[in-house]
Structure 1
Amino acid sequence: MSEPRLTNPTLYLQRLGFDAPPPPTLETLRQLQFRHTGAFPFENLATLSGEPVWIDLPSIERKVLHDGRGGYCYELNNLYLALLQTLGFDARGISGRVVIGQPEGAWPARTHRLSLVTLDDERYISDVGFGGMVPTAPLLLDSRGEQPTPHEPYRIDQHVDGYTLRARLGDEWRQMYIFDLQRQEDIDYAVGNWYVSTHPESSFTRQLMVARTGEGWRRTLNNGSFALHRIGQESERREVADIQELIALLDDEFGIRVPENALLIRTLERLIELQ
Structure 2
Amino acid sequence: MNAHETFIDLDAYFERIGFGGRSRPEPTLDTLRALHLLHPQAIPFENLDVLLGRPILLDPASIQRKLVVARRGGYCYEHNLLFRSVLQTLGFRVRSYAARVLWGRDASSGMPGRTHMLLVVDLDEGPFLADVGFGGMTLSAPLAFETGLEQITPHGVFRLDDAGGEPRSTILQALVNGAWTSVYRFDLDPQYDADYEMANHFVSTYPQSIFVHNLLAARLAPGKRYGLFNRRFSAHDEREGTVHCELADAADLRRVLENELGIRLPDGADLDAALARLP
Give TM-score, length-normalised by structure 1.
0.94
The count of aligned residue pairs is 272
Q: Distance in 2 between matches of 1:236 and 1:109?
A: 32
Contact 1:50 1:263 in 2 (8 A): no
Contact 1:85 1:91 in 2 (8 A): yes
Match of 1:103 among 106, 109, 130: 106
Q: Distance in 1 between matches of 2:253 and 2:198?
A: 31
Q: Distance in 1 between matches of 2:66 and 2:130?
A: 22
Aligned-pair CA distance for 1:4 = 1.2
1:227 paired residue number:
234
1:171-227 superposed Cα distances (whole Å, 9 cap, x missing partner): 210000011111111110001101110001100012101100011100111111111
1:168 paired residue number:
175
Q: Distance in 1 between matches of 2:103 and 2:51?
A: 22
Q: Distance in 2 between matches of 1:7 and 1:78?
A: 11
Q: Which amino acid aligns with 1:113?
A: M
Q: Distance in 2 between matches of 1:222 and 1:115?
A: 25
2:89 paired residue number:
86
Equivalent residues in 2 for 1:1-275, closer than 5 Å: 1-2=1-2, 4-16=5-17, 17-19=19-21, 20-104=23-107, 106-120=110-124, 122-158=126-162, 159-160=164-165, 161-271=168-278, 274=279
Give TM-score, length-normalised by structure 2.
0.93
Aligned-pair CA distance for 1:121 = 5.4
Contact 1:165 1:175 in 2 (8 A): yes
Divergent runs of 4+, >6 A: none
Question: Identical aligned pairs, as a percentage?
Answer: 41
SS at 1:153 equivalent:
strand
Q: Which amino acid aligns with 1:125?
A: L
Q: Distance in 2 between matches of 1:264 and 1:111?
A: 26
Contact 1:100 1:176 in 2 (8 A): yes
| Alignment RMSD | 1.5
1:84-103 superposed Cα distances (whole Å, 9 cap, x missing partner): 00111111211111110223
Q: Distance in 2 between matches of 1:6 and 1:29?
A: 20
Q: Distance in 1 between matches of 2:97 and 2:237?
A: 31
Aligned-pair CA distance for 1:258 = 1.6
Aligned-pair CA distance for 1:30 = 0.8
Q: Which amino acid aligns with 1:165?
A: L
Comparing 235-244 with 79-88, which one deviates more in the overlay? 235-244
Aligned-pair CA distance for 1:104 = 3.9
Contact 1:217 1:230 in 2 (8 A): yes
Comparing 185-194 with 157-166, which one deviates more in the overlay? 157-166
Contact 2:8 2:89 in 1 (8 A): no
SS at 2:218 equivalent:
strand
Q: Distance in 2 between matches of 1:153 and 1:5?
A: 35
Aligned-pair CA distance for 1:136 = 1.0
Contact 2:140 2:153 in 1 (8 A): yes
Contact 1:49 1:261 in 2 (8 A): no
